[in-house]
Chains A and B, each alone.
Chain A
């Protein structure tokens, strides 16, 4: 599927062996150590992980804001690492939308919600837009706020307007960084509902970074990152560890104390399954 999928169609994401290293003062920091992740078109995924696990860096890589040091990132058929700045700009223009942490950072503070949506649509051709600004706001139950000053909106309303602005161009992929941070329960619920509506209405693939388990539970698939890699996944109440491209397997965090680093483990085949047996010291 092309990165220029028509509006309303979600874009698949395929990340293989993604490595990103950046320089901080005199030190090189390996933020991503070979991330493998496949997201189907129209899927909703939440990214979990402790601070420094690489969630935000992965989000930045998916939006083309950082270049991979190694590995590939594909949005549809487009490989991010091979795209020029101009192509990346075009990618972000209505194909890949990013929702920054903090609603205010996604909006022009002096413009109304309707003006913000119109501003966000400015760079997008009409045929790529999801809907007209007023229709979009109405579709997300935000039409009553169209002309209100932003300062008059609650935290949840502000974040929903930010989502509307982010998806104003009809993106196939929405990357949201902590969309429910600093919100109360009602606000959080409203934001989650809006994300779901975006996904349902436009088929947009949604990837959200969050610390909120409720978001993960309601958005479906949960991916846990650790130390720059995908460590676990959750679907509903089930938890899985993910085998990496190199065959590495990360123990669930809850089991790491039982088998600390350096523990020798024997892998035994048991039919289609593998059994892990700890070697007794």
Chain B
């Protein structure tokens, strides 16, 4: 059980599971980038709100964590909807007339939202971490040669279901196709009669749901605190850039790869610096293939 190949396999599986959570976060971020070409710097706070909603509903009302899960999803959807409605909609209904450029506005306003949510939670709930309830008490499940905790197994399962569900939604449903159309060409889509505002709203809600559920599923491990979202958010920025901004499959692959890289790196390179691997990778990618991220770097004139 302690042989090196088995350890490596164990690290690999654990890395993949972590990668699944990164994917839940990164996919939402990349979808928002795909449709608005902006980065949501409050994405980590969607995750934080999800983790808190799940924990507080479940502990406060004494209901089963399984019932708290959909409530957390709803909180993410609501937050996504509100963000789009009040902060993002001006971006595509004539921001040109303001002094701030689109990118600047998006960075400032989402960063401001992030500050607001962190400090609101800090004030209302308190700065101390809360212990999130587990979905399963089973501490060890044998899955072939691997020993995994029940919580990890369940959450990994839910994450996979969510990602597949999202893929089906985007590919198959009418709304999903409209979203794709808007991401490719907002003007064209609106001429074709698609409600672009609604498509954007759907994306923000979906993104909020995924992030909030990631937070809820991880609540027993991370113990929600107001600033708990910062780190997963930074990870998903890295993933989204490496995976090619706006590409959903790209970010899923990058998320899984980062999870595995960190899992191995923590053992074979350095445990203390495990969180820096992704960041270094990001800077290397930007250094050596900046044009790879933009597709072909055209000088538009």
B is a partner of A: no
CB within 8 Å of A: which residues of B? none
CB within 8 Å of B: which residues of A? none
